[in-house]
Every structure is written in structure tokens, then in C-alpha cells.
A and B are shown apart, each in its own frame.
Chain A
Amino acid sequence: MNKEIINFTDVSIGYGNTAILTGINISIAENDFIGVVGPNGAGKTTLLKSLLGNIKLLSGRISKDDLRFGYVPQRDTVQPLLPYTVFDVVMMGRYSLSNSFKRISAEDKRVVEESLSYIGMSDVKNKNYNSLSGGQKQRTLIARALAVEPAVLILDEPTNGMDTPSHYSLLELITRLHSEKKLTIFLVSHLLTDVANIVKKIMLIDKNYFQFGDIGEILSEENLQRTYSSDFHISEIDGEYIIIPKHTKIL
């Protein structure tokens, strides 16, 4: 059993006076690999923003010591007009670690180079971020999160809108980050089959509904029906999950 690094105690989250989820009592351990799934507007982003401390909790407490978080947004939310290079973008990950007056150090540059090399982007580091493909942009944003040297990595829909090769190559990279760098990972995705096949634990989230645990325990047709208000069929072929919605026949 790995060491517990994040503890939610009687946590209620929401906006203003509106609670989305209440009474969350869970523990996240070192090197957990967690899929966060649920319908649009269920509260996935709110939960993660609460974890990051960007949204105040309605009640309860999240203890997370001095953990460093790396965050990878959906790449469509980052569309700069200025011609930032890949290196510039990844260097931004270092900005939160030093004060205003400190210059960029050799150590900062080394970490940025290392992050770029790890995700296989060293050869395009001087390219304009805007000129990259969708997959390369997403990798750049992952490298920026790695430049924080995080203990926990949060990825928000990282494979959205990607072609199939880029999609699987990115999932492979995320799995590698978990196994080689021993990162605790939160992967938000609406692609149930992807999530089920790479994560170890899963959070099912809907308004006032929250389930968290090992994938084998939580992933059931009943729980998915409750989360999405829709029927799903789960099958396992060669140890891989295949999750498909049960369509109603149209007469």
C-alpha cells in the first residue's frame, strides 16, 4: 500500500451556495492512476479545481501537504496570438517556482530540456507553438506540467479531437509517465474505454453522485447507468475493457 498523499475529509464542492458534490471522504495514494469520468457539467472540473485550491470548498478539508501539481489543460483553451516557441511555453512551468526578481537559472533550463526530451519534443523546441499539430501541442503542454517537477499530474481531456495514432501515442506517454516517473495521475476523459484500460482507479461523478475505488470494483453497468442516466454494455476481451452504450432500437 503506497503512502496516502491527499485526503478529502467531509468535502462538499460547488459554486456559490450551490453544492454539486457533498460528503466526499477519500484518500489518494502515491502513484495512484485515477480516471475521472462523468457527463458534461457533472462537476469533474470543479472537483479538480477544488483539489488545486482554485475554488473554495463549501465545507470540509483537503489535506495535501506541500504537493506540487502539474496541470495540462485542454489544448483548445490555449491559442496564443504571439509567436511563443515550444521552449518558451515549457519554461512557463518554471515560473511558479521562483520569485519575480529571480532570473531564469541554468537549473530551470536543464529541467525544461529534460522535460522536452522525455516527451520527444527536443527537436522542435525552437518552433512556434502555433505551428504544431494537435498532438505536438498537447505534448508541449504535458512537458510544461512536467517542468514543474510535480508529484501529481492532472490532465483534462488530453486526447480530445486527435487522430487515432496521436490519440494512442499520447495515452502511451501518459501510461509511461505513471510507470516510469511514478507520478500520481488524474486523467479526466469522456472516453470510457480508454480510461478503463489504462487507469487503476476510477472516479464516477454526476451531480450528487460520487463513486471512487479500484476499477474492478467501481466499473459496472449499474454504476455507469447511474452516472450517465444511460445504459452501457461492458465486456472484457483479452483482458481489455470495451464499453459501449446500449442504443435503443428506432422502429
Chain B
Amino acid sequence: MEILHQLVELFPFAIAGSILAGIICSFLGVFIVSQRVVFLGAVLTQVAIAGVAFSFLHIIHIETLIASLLGITIEKDELMHNFEPIFYSLLFAILTVIIFSQTHRQKHITKDGILGIIFVVAIAVRIMFIQKSPVADVAEIESILKGDILFINQTEFYILGVILIFTVSIFTFFRKQLKFVTFDSESANAHGINSRKWLLIFYIVVGTGISLTTRFVGDVFAFAYLIIPSSIGILTAKSVKNVFLISILVGGAVPPVAIYFAFKFDFSSGPAAVVTAFVLFLAVYVVKKLRG
């Protein structure tokens, strides 16, 4: 009880932010897993991190450019100060999903082949970018890579809130088109729904959600929460609605529990959240197996 009290007092935004990040990832994860593009989730988290690492090279100062256009001072505005890593992780992720959505149907290389190439290149360039980053920034990049959810601050919490609203809104407003093209893109196209366009929109929303969440909680947490809660949902639910509900419930409820254990036993919160979700997955899987 003492630990819980301390946690709520010291890290209120970390707890609330971890819930939001878990919900975003688990919601998007239902689509990622059901579309059989799990590897895309792994690729996007790596690409997002490569984008963050690129921003620390300070080659093009997007922040300064926008700040001068808007006439604001970046040092005083925390949101703007965080803008460059967010901008580049988003840019890299969107470029990746555009390449993927336009090429994954071609016959020369498999879908996995395309994703595999992007995956290794993203890791390679990330290492190269970090090597060339100013020494002062390396620790910050590494903390992003580790993704300690305990350090989610107020601004990041609000940004996560905006990402969640944006993601859910898009999937709510365009649910008919997105449901049809993700179920059967060929027939959707034949029935007059431009599946190429809608799949591109789908992948851009997924890319946006994953890249921004990865920026705040790290690649391990983001990827794990894309896969594990949605897999639990698919394993247990008998309707599509319940798959989403269970997935979101697991994605939102497990991270605060994991933070509690991480705090109690002195572990990093990100990996603790992944292991806690995995233990739950294992329990659900075993119960499901035993029940036949």
C-alpha cells in the first residue's frame, strides 16, 4: 500500500501515460495481428527509433524552422522542444508504411522480405546515427531506447491522449471502409471501395500511432503491447467487439500493475510491463488449452 501511495504521488503521469500507451498499442495491435503483419509492428518500432536517433544529429532544425515561422521561443515551450524527435520518428514511420503499402503486393519479393530489409536497415542506420550524435545526446537516446515508462511526463501524457483520440476517431469514422479492406481487400475493391487508398490510410494511422508511442515508451514496450494484448483478445473473445474490449482492457490494466512490481522489486518498468503481459498471456493460453 505504501508503494502504491508513493507511486501515485511521484509518478501520476507515468501511470496514466502507461495506461494510454498500452491502450493505443493494444487497439492498433488487433489490426496488426489480424492482418498478419506482426513483423510490420516490429519494423515500425525500429524505424521510429531510427527517426529519433536521426533527430539528434541536428542536421535539419525543424523545430527552429517552425518556431521562427510561428514566432515562438523553443526553449520556453516543452512541446516544441520535443518536436524534432517526434517529427522524425513520424516521418520515418510514414515513409515506411507508404513504401510497404505500395509494394507488398508485388511479386518479386515477399512481404516479409520487404519488411526484413527495412528492419535491418533501420537498426543499422540507428547505430550509425547514434555514433555520430553529440556525446551529450547519447544518454538521452539510450534512455529512449530503453523506454522507461516511469519517466512519462505531463506533456507526453497529453500527447499520448491526443494520439489515442486521433487513432480511435479515424477507426470509428471510417470503420466501414477499414473493416472491409482489412477483411477482404480484393472484394472491397470490386465493390467500389478503393482498397489501395484505404489500406494506405490504415497503415499511415498505424504507423503514426506506433511511432509516436514508441518515442515515449520505447520499442520493446510498444511492440509487446501491439502483440500480446491483441493475441489474448483473439484467444478468448467470441465476437470482434469483445476482441477489442479484452485487448484494450489488458493493454490498459497491465502496465500500472507492472510499474508497481517494477518499483517494488527494482526493475526497469518497460521490460517489467512486457514480462507481466507475457505471464498473463501464458496463463490465458494454458487455461484455454486445458478447457480444450
Query: Which of B34, B192, B234, B240 is A96 in contact with, Cβ under 8 Å?
Result: B192
CB distance from A186 to the nearest CB of B (A): 12
Query: Which of A81, A98, A148 is B234 in contact with, Cβ under 8 Å?
Result: A81
Q: Which B residues from 218 to 273 make CB contacts under 8 A with A?
A: 234, 237-240, 243
Indicate whether A223 reaches chain B with its CB closer than 8 angstroms: no
Indicate whether B291 reaches chain A with its CB closer than 8 angstroms: no
Query: Which of B173, B188, B240 is A84 in contact with, Cβ under 8 Å?
Result: B240
List the B residue with the shortest CB-CB distance to A81: B34
Known A-B contacts A82-B234, A83-B239, A84-B240; the reply to A71 vs B177 at CB < 8 A is no
B184 touches A78 (CB 8 A): yes
A83 touches B243 (CB 8 A): yes
B-chain residues with CB within 8 Å of residue A141 when the two chains form the complex: 187
B-chain residues with CB within 8 Å of residue A49 when the two chains form the complex: 190
Known A-B contacts A96-B193, A144-B187; the reply to A101 vs B240 at CB < 8 A is no
Interface SS, B side:
helix
List the A residue with the shortest CB-CB distance to B195: A54
B177 touches A95 (CB 8 A): yes
A-chain residues with CB within 8 Å of residue B108 when the two chains form the complex: none
Question: Interface size on A (CB < 8 Å)?
Answer: 30
B184 touches A82 (CB 8 A): no
A82 touches B240 (CB 8 A): yes
Q: Which A residues from 74 to 129 make CB contacts under 8 A with B?
A: 77-78, 80-85, 88-89, 92-93, 95-96, 98, 100-101, 128
List the A residue with the shortest CB-CB distance to B196: A54
Indicate whether A73 reaches chain B with its CB closer than 8 angstroms: yes
Bound-state CA distance A92–B192 (Å) is: 12
CB distance from B64 to the nearest CB of A (A): 38
Bound-state CA distance A93–B190 (Å) is: 11
B190 touches A52 (CB 8 A): yes
Indicate whether B142 reaches chain A with its CB closer than 8 angstroms: no
Known A-B contacts A69-B191, A71-B191, A96-B191; the reply to A81 vs B33 at CB < 8 A is yes
The 10 closest A-B pairs by CB, nearest first: A71-B190, A95-B176, A96-B191, A81-B34, A96-B192, A82-B34, A92-B180, A78-B184, A82-B240, A52-B190
B interface residues (Cβ-Cβ under 8 A, vs A):
30, 33-34, 36, 173-174, 176-177, 179-180, 183-184, 186-193, 234, 237-240, 243
A-B contact pairs, 15 of them (CB 8 A): A69-B192, A71-B186, A71-B190, A73-B187, A78-B183, A78-B184, A81-B36, A82-B243, A84-B240, A89-B183, A95-B188, A128-B238, A144-B187, A148-B191, A154-B190
